[in-house]
């Protein structure tokens, strides 16, 4: 019998992405993905953007906070594999038109499994090469 786990994970609280050009990254997450800037970037070089119930923290690699994690990302070794954002409602025509308008390249719409089950998704990259997944429900 498995012991009861005292942890009940309910959603991603935040993801931290180190950025070489924080203003460009803020603009992408705000203007393309529709996140709302809540704090920063300020003296710490930390911008916090609201993505539904979660936050995306962007850290400027040229600040003390950013340097603490090591060398800046160079595009050959991204900061993460990918982060996936649930998109509701899922309107593939509207989503791809929006990405096209902003000059964002993206992959084909494919059915993939995630926290909400099987559903359509699209992969794309932010301005610094981090892979993002936009996912709908079936």
CA separation for the pair 79, 58 (Å, rounded) = 11
pLDDT at 129: 84
pLDDT at 78: 60
pLDDT at 9: 62
Q: How would you write the pLDDT of the chain (138 residues) with one tens digit per residue?
A: 666 765 466 678 788 888 889 999 999 999 999 999 998 888 888 899 999 889 998 989 887 777 776 777 776 666 676 888 888 889 999 999 999 999 999 999 999 978 788 889 999 999 988 888 998 887
pLDDT at 32: 95
Domain annotation for the chain: domains and CATH numbers:
14-135 (3.10.180.10)
């Amino acid at each position: 019998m498995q012991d009861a786990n005292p942890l009940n994970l309910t959603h991603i609280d935040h993801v931290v992405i180190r950025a070489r050009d924080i203003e460009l990254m803020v603009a992408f997450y705000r203007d393309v993905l529709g996140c709302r800037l809540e704090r920063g970037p300020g003296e710490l070089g930390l911008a916090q953007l609201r993505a539904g119930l979660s936050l995306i923290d962007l850290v400027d690699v040229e600040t003390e906070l950013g340097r603490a994690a090591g060398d800046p990302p160079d595009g050959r070794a991204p900061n993460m594999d990918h982060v996936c954002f649930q998109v509701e409602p899922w309107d593939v025509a509207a989503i791809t038109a929006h990405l096209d308008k902003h000059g964002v390249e993206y992959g084909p719409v494919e059915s993939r499994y995630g926290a909400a089950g099987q559903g359509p998704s699209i992969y794309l990259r932010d301005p610094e090469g981090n892979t993002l997944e936009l996912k709908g429900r079936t």
